[in-house]
């Protein structure tokens, strides 16, 4: 059940993730899919939607729309109609913790679950990658105090039963994530470098990358230690359950 593309990081405006973006649009199976951008994590940054529109609209042929929840106060029914009327939903990066709080206040979490169950393509980068997982390794504290902050564990929507870390190849993420994951006995980790993505279609998955030397990783505990394994990039899909267990 459900289609998700979680992107570990990269600059959409510089077309760093363009090969992944093409796959996201292709998963819709339509000539001119309706693409909804949700920029809550960035504080509804207008320029972010402009960039999304240029890539997904001008380059990839989507009909783009945006859901603002901070600068505008849409009614609950309008939010639901935008989400369930889309063919694909792309969640932008930023402050994951604040985003999840605002989503819950506006029932976006409930409507996104409906979208997932309807096989609307769900995608996103960084915070927009974390949100689809049970937990995420987040830099949300940075946005409140840039001089004194730490990585934190945040709750996601739980569509993928794993503890997710985006940007795994930058900013000492790997060391901190391994330490954080070690405190949890009951869940595996899934980490993505920038310019890599996890594609989930129902109960299958595959990894895609769009630059040299980047990877996706499975992390799990064995004999009290966290083990890290590269998840191979393959054209064919594999069983998601085996990845998460």
Domains delineated in the chain: 3-244 (3.40.50.880)
pLDDT score for 142: 85
Instruction: Indicate the DSSP class of residue 140.
Output: G
C-alpha 186/C-alpha 18 separation (Å) is 35
Q: With contact defined as beta carbons under 8 Å apart, do 26 and 119 qualify?
A: no
Per-residue model confidence as pLDDT tens digits over 41-97: 999 998 999 999 999 999 999 999 999 999 999 999 999 999 999 999 999 999 999
Per-residue model confidence as pLDDT tens digits over 127-171: 999 999 999 999 998 888 888 899 999 999 999 999 999 999 997
Residue closest to 207 by CA, chosen among 13, 86, 215, 53: 215
Per-residue model confidence as pLDDT tens digits over 164-200: 999 999 978 999 999 999 887 689 999 999 999 999 9
**Tokens found for residue 11:** 């600059």
The model scores a pTM over 0.85: yes
**Tokens found for residue 152:** 């934190």
Chain-centroid distance of CA 34 in Å reads: 19
């Amino acid at each position: 059940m459900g289609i998700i593309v979680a992107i570990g990081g990269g600059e959409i405006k510089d077309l760093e993730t363009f090969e992944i973006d093409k796959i996201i649009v292709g998963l819709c199976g339509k000539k001119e899919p309706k693409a909804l951008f949700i920029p809550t994590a960035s504080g509804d940054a207008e320029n972010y939607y402009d960039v999304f529109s240029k890539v997904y609209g001008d380059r990839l042929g989507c009909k783009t729309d945006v859901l603002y929840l901070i600068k505008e106060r849409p009614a609950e029914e309008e939010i639901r109609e935008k989400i369930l009327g889309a063919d694909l939903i792309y969640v932008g990066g930023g402050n994951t913790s604040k985003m999840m709080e605002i989503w819950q206040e506006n029932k976006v979490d409930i409507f996104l679950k409906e979208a997932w169950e309807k096989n609307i393509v769900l995608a996103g980068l960084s915070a927009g990658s974390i949100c689809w997982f049970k937990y995420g390794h987040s830099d949300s504290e940075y946005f409140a105090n840039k001089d004194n902050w730490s990585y934190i564990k945040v709750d996601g929507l739980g569509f993928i039963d794993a503890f997710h870390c985006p940007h795994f190849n930058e900013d000492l993420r790997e060391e901190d994530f391994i330490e954080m994951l070690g405190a949890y006995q009951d869940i595996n980790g899934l980490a993505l470098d920038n310019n890599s993505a996890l594609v989930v279609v129902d109960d299958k998955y595959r990894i895609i990358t769009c630059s040299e030397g980047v990877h996706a990783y499975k992390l799990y505990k064995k004999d009290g230690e966290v083990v890290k394994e590269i998840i191979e990039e393959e054209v064919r899909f594999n069983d998601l359950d085996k990845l998460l267990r």
